[in-house]
Amino acid sequence: MVRKIALAILLTTAAGIASATPTGMTCTTHYFLGIIPYEVCTWNNPPPKPVVAAPEIDATSALAGLTLMIGALAVLRGRRSKVANA
């Protein structure tokens, strides 16, 4: 029973931390049909979009991956059991 209570407290704390509002965001609570609450959050100043560089794969890396895949397939194929005809 103590474990269940401790787990409930831990999960509730984790959910509260995960739902924390970041800086620069304003959240207000609205009510759907006057009963069901939901939250609407807006950015005060939208954060700049980060530039993400695409990874480049050179020929050496591609050949190494292909060799690894072919070797793994050869090992898996070699482990098949041989059925002997009696």
- For residue 59 the two structure tokens come to 């020929």
pLDDT means per 10 residues, the chain with 86 residues, are: 77 64 72 80 74 80 87 80 66
End-to-end CA distance of the chain: 61
pLDDT at position 22 is 61
Pairing relationship of beta strands 25-32 and 36-43 according to DSSP bridges: antiparallel
Sign of the alpha-carbon dihedral angle for 39, 44, 48, 50: negative
Query: CA-to-CA distance for 16 and 38, rounded, in angstroms?
Result: 16
